[in-house]
Amino acid sequence: MKAQLFRFTASLTIVCGILWDASSLIGSADAQACGRVRARREFRMLSQHERTSFVNAIRQLQRGPSPTRYDQYVSIHWNARENTHGYAQFFPWHRHFLREFEKDLQRIDPSIMIPYWDWTYDSQSPELSPIFADNFMGGNGWNGCVRTGPFGQWSPAFPRRKCLGRTFDRGDRLSAYASPEQIMIIMRSADTYHDMRVWTETPPHGIIHSSLGGDMETMYSPNDPIFWMHHAFIDKLWDNWQRLGDGRNFWRYDDENNDDSPSMLSDMLWPFEVQVGDVMDSRRLCYYYEPFLPNRAPLAMNAENGGTNSWDMAMANGPAFDWTQSMEAAWAADPAANGMLLTIPDDDRSEMVALRASKPLPEAWLRMNHQNVTQVRAIESKLRNVVDRINHMEHYVSPAALIRHDGALNVMARQWTRSPALLERLTATVGGKVEHALAGALLRQEDMATSSSAQPNASMAPTHEGPGSSAANTTTSSSGKKQPRPSSAQIISALRERVEAMTGVSLTDGTPTRTSSSGRQAAAV
Ligand SMILES: *[C@@H]1O[C@H](CO)[C@@H](O)[C@H](O)[C@H]1NC(C)=O
Ligand SMILES: *[C@@H]1O[C@H](CO)[C@@H](O)[C@H](O)[C@H]1NC(C)=O
Ligand SMILES: *[C@@H]1O[C@H](CO)[C@@H](O)[C@H](O)[C@H]1NC(C)=O
């Protein structure tokens, strides 16, 4: 940490030079004449063509004499860091910053909108997220340097020229991120802007930065293009919170600046000549967030428990969930008094249903971000309590549970076709929840197979064996021997056979008969 700080200081001179060059970036607020208000979508909702356009436009901003347009964004983030992390401007400053970047991408290709990364969906095994695919953001670094994907050969120039850095914090894995339920309870509990900002910024926002390592864990984090999608999701959470309960929180901005002054809508978002009040409404900035509903088919799984199926469905359906009460109780509980934590290690990948809690954020990262360490530890405790409460609910399967995740399912399904013993072990682990979960898994496999044969480019190949794996049609077993990869049809029929044998549930028409309120009908919601 000390060495890094020294490097930051040493690079200050360069930084100032670049900032002057960046003056063309620091314009005034939008003329507010949106041709139309356009959707930012989750990156999994984009076609391959749209994902490629996004990547190509970023690469174009990275080209040319140094400092490139891209370098200028990184230097602005660095220069503005003191008031934009750990203080009121965290949300509005990053909102404006992203919008400026988006407009630059649109000058290259007008069709582009920044996609967001709903990492709650990936929270239980973030390294399996297709965001790390070779044709998108690339995977983990080798010796700290990203070598796969479109940015594998790129050398960011700021603060000094080097490779794009990424170092997963658990070796080839990433520690768990915040689950949809945790985000949900944060939003529902936050009655002030201050609380919403504090609880979202740390730990949920912070763990993505610190776990990815490399550039992301520094104040020049925009060097990693994942930054934009991560912060688009953070912006979405603020947007969702603003509009909760008919916009009850819309104009709330009751927080503090780093000079202890109370935050005001007239505060300037330095170095931009824009006021906080100018960016309160995403629609005035010409965009909105389209909900991400990843688990359409297995919605049935949770139909009896209120129907929550994704972060966005939880938002849309409001206080009808029976789990909300439990969550609130967990939130209010004294963590120290709860000796019953059902703790899943955050790097465990064998548990398919129960949730993991994020590990505590590194103190160095907290200090760099002006965080009150005592306060963050208290919030981390409460969030662990929420996970604990969820794990003790008999019939609830989180939308983030590994058993409902594309990437994890693919790994699992292919293992099943090789190892019948695996399913038995899985059943022993998850007990009564497995039947629902398996039925949902099966339906999703079918959906995936259908959509990928209909639209070859519409769904992205998930990373199967984790970062660095190739998308070739063979897999390497633990013995190192190449085996043919089972086709979707083989996976599905193997799944079908095993699920039916295990549960006695008929799956021939795609509807588990023993779970009355579940099935495809419910998926239409
Ligand atoms: C940090 O947070 C704790 C607990 O919320 C509080 O008691 C303490 O005063 C805070 N410290 C600072 C320096 O703000
Ligand atoms: C699908 O991808 C292939 C290669 O990646 C490309 O040649 C083809 O044009 C794409 N099709 C569509 C419909 O985008
Ligand atoms: C996939 O498998 C087929 C035969 O099973 C083989 O001919 C082909 O080269 C393989 N493709 C790749 C990319 O490995």
Q: Summarize pLDDT for 188-198 with one digit per residue, the tens.
A: 888 899 999 99
Ligand 3: residues within 6 Å at CB?
472-474
How distant is the alpha carbon of residue 8 from its chain centre?
Answer: 28
Counting from 1 in the atom list of ligand 3, the atom nearest the Cα of 484 is 5
Handedness of CA 16, 17, 22, 24 (dihedral sign): positive
In sequence order, which ranges of 336-405 are alpha helices (DSSP H)?
A: 363-368, 373-391
Atom 3 of ligand 2, nearest CA residue: 457
Atom 1 of ligand 2, nearest CA residue: 457
Atom 11 of ligand 1, nearest CA residue: 372
Measured between alpha carbons, how far is 20 from 75 in angstroms, rounded to an integer?
A: 10
Atom 14 of ligand 1, nearest CA residue: 372
Residue 248 Cβ inside 6 Å of ligand 2? The answer reads no
Counting from 1 in the atom list of ligand 2, the atom nearest the Cα of 455 is 13
Q: Which amino acid belongs to residue 368? A: M
CB 136 within 8 A of CB 322: no
CB 355 within 8 A of CB 369: no
Counting from 1 in the atom list of ligand 2, the atom nearest the Cα of 47 is 14
Residue 455 Cβ inside 6 Å of ligand 2? The answer reads no
Measured between alpha carbons, how far is 234 from 242 in angstroms, rounded to an integer?
A: 12
Name all domains of the chain by residue range, CATH numbers in brackets. 38-290 (1.10.1280.10)
Q: Counting ligands in written order, which one lies closest to the CA of residue 452?
A: 2
CB 433 within 8 A of CB 353: yes
- Residue 385 sits at the vertex; the CA angle it makes with 319 and 87, to the nearest 5 degrees, is 80
**Ligand 2 midpoint to CA 431 (Å):** 43
Q: Which amino acid belongs to residue 451? A: S
CB 63 within 8 A of CB 69: no
Q: What is the pLDDT along the chain (525 residues), one digit of tens a residue?
A: 333 333 333 333 333 333 434 444 544 444 456 778 999 999 988 999 999 999 999 999 999 998 999 999 999 999 999 999 999 999 999 999 999 999 999 999 999 999 999 999 899 999 988 899 999 999 999 999 999 999 999 999 999 999 999 999 999 999 999 988 888 888 888 889 999 999 999 999 999 999 999 999 999 999 999 999 999 999 999 999 999 878 889 999 999 999 999 999 999 999 999 999 999 999 999 999 998 865 433 333 333 333 334 455 554 443 334 455 666 676 676 655 454 556 788 888 777 778 899 999 999 999 999 999 999 999 998 888 888 877 776 556 677 877 666 666 666 655 554 555 555 555 444 444 444 455 445 544 444 444 444 333 333 333 333 322 333 334 333 344 444 444 445 545 555 565 555 555 554 443 444 433 332 222 222
**Ligand 3 midpoint to CA 473 (Å):** 6
In sequence order, which ranges of 22-68 are alpha helices (DSSP H)?
A: 48-61
- Residue 413 sits at the vertex; the CA angle it makes with 344 and 515, to the nearest 5 degrees, is 80
- Closest residue by Cα to residue 69 from 79, 57, 54, 84: 57
Measured between alpha carbons, how far is 330 from 383 in angstroms, rounded to an integer?
A: 9
Mutation to probe ligand 1, out of 202, 367, 370, 372 (largest number of atoms < 8 A from CB): 372
SS (H, E, C) 138-192: CCCEECCEECCCCCCCCCCCCCCCCCCECCCCECCECCCCCCHHHHHHHHHHCCC
Peptide bond into 271 cis (omega under 30): yes
CB 141 within 8 A of CB 165: yes
Measured between alpha carbons, how far is 34 from 64 in angstroms, rounded to an integer?
A: 30
**Ligand 1 midpoint to CA 232 (Å):** 29
Measured between alpha carbons, how far is 4 from 10 in angstroms, rounded to an integer?
A: 10
Measured between alpha carbons, how far is 517 from 299 in angstroms, rounded to an integer?
A: 10
DSSP 237-306: HHHHHHTHHHHTTTT----B-TTSPBP-TT-B-TTSB-BGGGGS-GGGGTEEE----TTSGGGGGGGGGT
- Residue 15 sits at the vertex; the CA angle it makes with 10 and 19, to the nearest 5 degrees, is 165
- Closest residue by Cα to residue 300 from 496, 123, 525, 493: 525
CB 51 within 8 A of CB 460: yes
CB crowding 459-482: b at 16 or more within 10 Å, else e:
bbbbbbebbbbeeeeebeeeeeee
Atom 3 of ligand 3, nearest CA residue: 473
**Ligand 2 midpoint to CA 45 (Å):** 16
Neighbours of 340 (CB within 10 A): 9
**Ligand 3 midpoint to CA 135 (Å):** 19
Q: What is the pTM of this model?
A: 0.74
